[in-house]
Amino acid sequence: MEMLGFALLVAVSFISSIIGTMIGTAMLILPPTMIFLGIPVHTAIATSRFSLKNRIQRKYVVPFALAGVIGAVFGASLLTKINEETLKKIIGIFMLIVSLLIFFEGKIKPKKARQKITIRHYFLSILSGIFIGAYIGVIGGGGATVIIFLLILIYGLNFKDAVVNQKAVTLPISIITTIIFVYQGLIEYRLGLPLLIINIIGGWIGAGLMLKFRNIWLKRILVPVIIIMAIRLIFF
């Protein structure tokens, strides 16, 4: 990769890590950028996942995360069996779906967080975790956003608590998928290691900003950008 392209990728990675920490969408931005810069689709997904590395409550996240790991093993193992053109279109379609979820997030009004968690809630978490784990294993982009919505809908968490708790769900899923991608030889370490450092810094900044600013302006800027990138992946 040329120096200019690498500098652009670092800048996008830094910005996406800040945004991703605030509204959970880093993987909707980084992989498409890598693809547009000429990085093979499978490598872009694996390398960006490698680089993305309080009020967490175990009763919300443990069943979700454990089921997610099972789904992630299946999804990550399936990745190399999907050809590049099909994978691009799948990424684009899910980017459009998730961008709509981001845009209409304000319409979902959570109920009071449930103090008593029933078997039904755990059952919904397990089903959701298997699906999300498989989705993150194959696509990744927007998985955190979907988890946030599910935590709001299943447990009645507010948006900020859902953002914090989704990280405990995505972490084990990301670790498992990264291990599988390392085994498959898909990660480009010359890109992944610098991006890992950049994302840690950006995530730290984003965590501070999340507590100080409303994220509505981010959504108004981000959603049109995601839609444009998705259209390009699907049709061009």
CA dihedral 23, 17, 145, 82 (to 10 degrees): 160
pLDDT at 56: 61
pTM: 0.62
Tell me how crowded residue 78 is: count the other CB atoms within 10 A of its CB.
12
Contact present, 170 and 27 (Cβ < 8 Å): no
pLDDT at 39: 80
DSSP code at position 190: H
Per-domain residue ranges of the chain? 3-235
Cα–Cα distance, 196 to 186 (Å, whole number): 16
Tens of pLDDT, residue by residue over 158-168, are 777 777 788 78
Q: What letters, b where the CB count within 10 A reaches 16 and e where it falls short, cover 176-201?
A: bbbebbeeeebbbeebbeebbebbee
Cα–Cα distance, 35 to 43 (Å, whole number): 9
Alpha helices in 104-142 (DSSP H): 119-138
CA angle (226, 147, 214) in 5-degree steps: 60
In the predicted model, residues of the chain with pLDDT beneath 70 are 1-2, 16-30, 46-56, 104-115, 140-142, 199-200, 202-219, 221-222
pLDDT at 70: 92
pLDDT at 107: 62
Structure tokens at 29: 């931005």
Distances (CA, A) of 22 to 27, 121, 167: 13, 26, 11
